[in-house]
Each structure stands twice: as C-alpha cells, then as structure tokens.
Chains A and B, each alone.
Chain A
Amino acid sequence: MTSAMPSNSRLTMLRQTPVVWTAALTVFAFLLSLFVGPAGVGWPTSTVTGGGEAARLVLMEIRLPRAVLGFLVGGALGLSGAVLQGYLRNPLAEPGLLGVSGGASFGAVVAIHSGASAVFALALPLGGLIGAVTATLAVVRLAGERSGTMSLILAGVAISSLTAALTALALNLAPNPFASIEILHWLMGSLTDRSLLHVWIASPLIVLGAAILLSTARDLDGLSIGDEAAENLGVDLRRLRHRVVAGTALSVGAATAVAGAIGFVGLVVPHLLRPFTSQEPGRLLWPSLFGGAALVLLADVALRLLSPAGDLRLGVVTAILGAPFFLWLVLATRRELDA
C-alpha cells in the first residue's frame, strides 16, 4: 500500500466517485459564477422575484456567457491536460505542449497588433483560431508520421518557442502603448466582457474536440503498459495520435482563442485527481474535465470578489493558485522517491 492511500472510508468513497463530486463542484461553481459579482445581482433578486430588466441583462448578457465560457475553457484545459499526460505518459505534459495555445495566442496578438480587433471585435477570436490551426499543422508536419511521441513533443516545443518569440516581437513593435497593454492583458487570459457570440464561436469546436478526446480513454489505459503491448490490445497508435492532436487543437485552440492563455489548469488538475482514479489514465478524463471547469469558474469568481474593478487577470489567478499546488506536488513526489 502506498502511504498516499487514504485508509478511512469517506476518502475511499471519494476515490471511487471522482466524476460525481467533480461534477457537483462544477455545478456549484457555475451557480456561484452566475450570482456573484460587482453588480450585486444575487440569487433572490434575479430569479425568484424577477428583479427587473437591469438584473436580467446583467445575468443573461454578462454573467451567463462568462460562466458558460468558464465551464468550456476550464473543461477543455483539464481534459486535454489529462489526455496529453496519458498519451505522452508524462505527468508534466500540459495543453500548451503541442504549440496549440502558443499559436492561438500569437494569432490573437496579430489581430490586436494589426488593429483588426479595433475595427471588428470578432477578429480576436478568429485570429486565435487561425493561429491555433496553423501551429497544429506545423507541429504535425514537423513531427512526421512516426507514431513515437518524442518527435511530437520536440515539434510542439519548437513551434511553441517560435510563437512565443513572434509574440514578443509583436509586443516589442506595438504601434502604441495602448496596443501593448491590450496585448499584455490578453496574454494573461480573461473571461471579462465576453458575449454570447464568443460562446457560439467557441462551443461547437470545444464540444467536438472534447468528444474526440473523451473517446481515447480505453486507448490511454492500454498505453500505460507501453506502445507495443497497447498495439496488441487493439490500440491503433497512428489513429490515436491523430485523435489526440485534433481533439487538443480544436478544444484548446478554441478555448485560447476566446479566453487567452490560461496556465496551470491543464497541468495541475489531472495531477490532483489522479490519486482518486486508481491512477488509470482513462478514468481520469471526465473528472479532469469537471475539475478544470470548476477551477477556472472558481478562480473567475475569486478575482471578481478580490478586484471588482477588473484589473486582476484570470490566467494570473490560476497560475497563483496552481503554483503552490505544484510546489506541494514536487515535495510529495520527492518524499515518495526518498522513501
């Protein structure tokens, strides 16, 4: 028995039902996101007693898109993190690894830099999507057709560095201070001021990508005893790779295109939930989807309460929340290795 295994029965129950309690946590976070905010439209005024036109507007036009996007973006990040960790059999894998988020960020930054986003608001998410698709194609092309994972990681890192360098260049050459502030803010990730239109752009792509990623569960289980054994169990390595890349590109590309770069969610959430899923990579997928959604929604609520003026950015909050978890994880792993 590992020392990390809890022995009392309540934790055993949690261990067996991670989908249920992560889903419950997500519902709670979603409702919180709908009813908490600077405008003070609480539960009773907005739904029970009617609350008038202003309250309805705040709820439907501001809070609802924000909550739905928080759910979609967090779910995409958590799920793709779990899939990539399982696929690459590396607990340090995260959604940014394949260059998708770097590409989406750069695409959006180009939209800001060129002034297109000032003319036409949707230029930003569309630029992000174009960037994500371009980066993914480049990574796939660069990695080649071999089914090994190392070439994919190397290609992803190479494209990520390239997009990071180009993004820095765009920031460097920003036409005016306002553009550079806008770029910086966008890079920090946010759900502020997103409309239902953003939801309509992102949701089909995220849902499709998530469906593809969720279909890999059994294959990921098979991969845990190596490529060759997995192949013997019926895993088509080449098809699996296509599904992992396509699912990540769609879900994370669309998420980054509407919300900017939100770090740590895809890395930390699967890590935290893995002990509750008997370490099985396939069983980790749904809980990570819900866990990621809950984390992003809660972080978004927290930043609304902490800085009602909106100067705190979501990507910063998730990183601040995520980093200590990660430090704890490093220490726990070290204890395990020392033991």
Chain B
Amino acid sequence: MTLSARALTVIADGRTVLDGIDIDVPPGQIVAVAGPNGAGKSTLLRALAGIGAEAGIVRSGQVLLDGRLLDKLDGRARGRAIAYLPQERTVHWALDARRVVALGRLPHGGGAMTAADRAAVDRALADMDAAGFGARPVSRLSGGERARVLLARALAQDAPILVADEPTAGLDPAHALDLFGHFTRLASAGRSVVVALHDLSLARRFCHTLVLLQRGKVAASGPPGDVLTPPILADVYGIKAVVGEIDGIPVVVAAEPLTRSS
C-alpha cells in the first residue's frame, strides 16, 4: 500500500503548522521525517495516520491510501491499514504488558482473541524483546520498557504501514538498533514505515528517504545521503554539522550551533 499526501496544509488555532506538504511512502520503504522542534513532524505523522481531526484544526489537501482518500475509510479499516505510535507514551490503569499489546488487535475483530490474535501478540512482544515482562503491569516498567511495549502494540496491529513518532525515544542504543533492524525487515517484506526522528545518524543509515521539515514546509527531501549535507543542516537546524563515516558506518554529528543571523 502506498500512503501519500498532496498539498497538505494544517492550520491549528489560526497558526499554519503544515504548509503545502507533498510526501509519498511507497511499499518497502522506511521514510524518516526530521526537522527542528515545532517544524510540524508530529502534525504530519498524525495527518498521515488519519487521526487527530478535531475542532480548531483545519486540514486541506489530501491524504491518500493507494490513491483513495484516507478520510473515507472507517476507523477500524484504517487501523488495519495503518498502525500509529503516538509520541504520548502513557498507559492508564495498571494493565499488564500483554494486555496493552493485545489492544493492537482491536481493529481486527470482535471481543474474544483468536489464535491468530494471540500469535500476533506473541510475535510483537518477541520482536520488541518484551516477552519477558508480558505479565507485569506496565506501570511498574521502566520508561524504555514501556516504550517497547507500546511499540509492540503498534506492531501487533500487523498493518502494512507503520507510522511511528520518535520510536527510539527512551530506548537504549542496543534496542534502538534492534528496532531499526526490525523496521528494515518489515520494509524488505514489502511494508512501509514512516518515522519522525531526531537521530540523524540512524536516519542516514537505515532510511530510504528523508524528508526534512522547516517551519511547516519541506526544506529538503530525498535519499538521506543527499539531504544530510552541512549546508542544508546549517540552513534548517542552524548547526555546523560533521557528516562522515566511521568504520563504514555513516554518522551525522551536530558539532556546534551557528549564531542565528535573522
């Protein structure tokens, strides 16, 4: 399935958060969305996942799933096509981890869990290295463990498209690498992943396309190697960046802030 946005503009309480965004997420790709704080990353991801439309927020343009308007899909069908991990990592009540992950099966069916549901939950827990604490209340887990459980919820949804807002937030380096390894496996299986990301080295190394947002507009877009150049990073982030390779692994380091001229 291909997810795309055309001339997407979002105005929240009179402020233009996104301004004429075009983006394509073809099957088999990991697309990273990066940019400074407040550039509109989360807003773009919410719009792509088809959620968060409410009073005070005006959207224009189109979000399309295989060429059809995403808004036309009912909520559960949308949940089967697109799994969305919000930035908010709260779990209310002392639900155990397994039950949280099982919520990902809600779009798939009625009340009782089927064997297929249980298999998807087990797989998602194992993929996120969370099977060991499946029986523990999420309120008793560490922040990173909770983040993995919530990621497992999105994976258990088993949707062809995964939209994840800063999925590595709170994860240790080993689990962050594991996560991108898993995203890569999803992509090679023909699924697609959209991530909002601050870690430009991870974006450079694992993503097929990088969309760099600046004040609600696409400042640059393309293969990460073409986008993550010192001049573009100086313009978008206001930093002097060092872009290079260590032992064959691409790295992007923010060396120092540039004094802002405007």
Partners in one complex: yes
- Residues of chain A touching chain B, judged by Cβ–Cβ distance below 8 Å, are 1-2, 89, 144-147, 218, 221-226, 228-229, 231-238, 274, 278-281
Any chain A CB within 8 A of the CB of B144? Answer: no
Give min CB distance, A282 to chain B, whole Å: 9
Query: Do A228 and B55 touch (CB < 8 A)?
Result: no
| Nearest residue, chain B, Cβ from A282 | B111
For B136, list chain A residues within 8 Å (CB): 1
- Of the four ranges (under 10, 10 to 19, 20 to 34, 35 or more), the interface on chain B belongs to 35 or more
Which B37-96 residues have a C-beta within 8 angstroms of A?
46, 49, 51-52, 54-56, 74-76, 78-79, 82-86, 88, 90-96
Q: Which of A221, A229, A236 has the most B CB atoms < 10 Å from its CB?
A: A229
Query: Do A228 and B86 touch (CB < 8 A)?
Result: yes
- Give the docked Cα–Cα distance between A1 and B150 (Å): 19
| Nearest residue, chain B, Cβ from A5 | B137
Give min CB distance, A40 to chain B, whole Å: 46
Query: Do B51 and A221 touch (CB < 8 A)?
Result: no
Query: Do B91 and A233 touch (CB < 8 A)?
Result: no
Query: Do A232 and B82 touch (CB < 8 A)?
Result: yes
Number of A-B contacts (CB under 8 A): 97
Query: Do B91 and A225 touch (CB < 8 A)?
Result: yes
- Give the docked Cα–Cα distance between A150 and B52 (Å): 16
Give min CB distance, A199 to chain B, whole Å: 32
Decide if the interface of chain A is mainly helix, strand, loop or mixed.
loop
Query: Do A221 and B76 touch (CB < 8 A)?
Result: no
Query: Do B94 and A279 touch (CB < 8 A)?
Result: yes
For A280, list chain B residues within 8 Å (CB): 93, 95, 99
Any chain A CB within 8 A of the CB of B100? Answer: yes
Give min CB distance, A184 to chain B, whole Å: 38
- Give the docked Cα–Cα distance between A186 and B55 (Å): 41
Give min CB distance, A240 to chain B, whole Å: 11
Give min CB distance, A216 to chain B, whole Å: 13
Any chain A CB within 8 A of the CB of B185? Answer: no
For B96, list chain A residues within 8 Å (CB): 278-279
For A145, list chain B residues within 8 Å (CB): 54-55
Query: Do B79 and A232 touch (CB < 8 A)?
Result: yes
- Give the docked Cα–Cα distance between A236 and B107 (Å): 12
| Nearest residue, chain B, Cβ from A91 | B93
- Give the docked Cα–Cα distance between A232 and B52 (Å): 9
Any chain A CB within 8 A of the CB of B35? Answer: no
Known: A232-B84, A278-B95. A225 touches B100 (CB 8 A): yes
Known: A223-B92, A279-B94. A2 touches B140 (CB 8 A): yes
Query: Do B82 and A225 touch (CB < 8 A)?
Result: no
Partner of B51, one of A232, A274, A281: A232
Query: Do B55 and A146 touch (CB < 8 A)?
Result: yes
Partner of A228, one of B46, B74, B76: B46
- Give the docked Cα–Cα distance between A228 and B51 (Å): 7
Known: A89-B92, A225-B153, A228-B51. A233 touches B56 (CB 8 A): no
For B84, list chain A residues within 8 Å (CB): 228-229, 232
Query: Do A222 and B95 touch (CB < 8 A)?
Result: no
Partner of A232, one of B49, B100, B111: B49
For B88, list chain A residues within 8 Å (CB): 226, 228-229
Give min CB distance, A238 to chain B, whole Å: 8
| Nearest residue, chain A, Cβ from B86 | A228
| Nearest residue, chain A, Cβ from B87 | A228
Q: Which of A222, A231, A238, A274 has the most B CB atoms < 10 Å from its CB?
A: A231
- Give the docked Cα–Cα distance between A145 and B150 (Å): 29
For A229, list chain B residues within 8 Å (CB): 84-86, 88, 103, 150, 153
Any chain A CB within 8 A of the CB of B160? Answer: no
Query: Do B54 and A147 touch (CB < 8 A)?
Result: yes
Give per-residue flags for B134-153: 1 if the beta carbon is below 8 A from chain A beta carbons, else 0: 01110010000000001001
Query: Do B76 and A234 touch (CB < 8 A)?
Result: yes
- Give the docked Cα–Cα distance between A163 and B92 (Å): 32
Query: Do B103 and A225 touch (CB < 8 A)?
Result: yes
Query: Do A146 and B54 touch (CB < 8 A)?
Result: yes
For A233, list chain B residues within 8 Å (CB): 75-76, 79, 103-104, 106-107, 157
- Give the docked Cα–Cα distance between A222 and B95 (Å): 12
Query: Do A279 and B93 touch (CB < 8 A)?
Result: yes
| Nearest residue, chain A, Cβ from B77 | A234
For B78, list chain A residues within 8 Å (CB): 232, 234
- Give the docked Cα–Cα distance between A294 and B157 (Å): 39
Known: A233-B103, A281-B93. A228 touches B75 (CB 8 A): no
| Nearest residue, chain A, Cβ from B56 | A146
Query: Do B137 and A279 touch (CB < 8 A)?
Result: yes
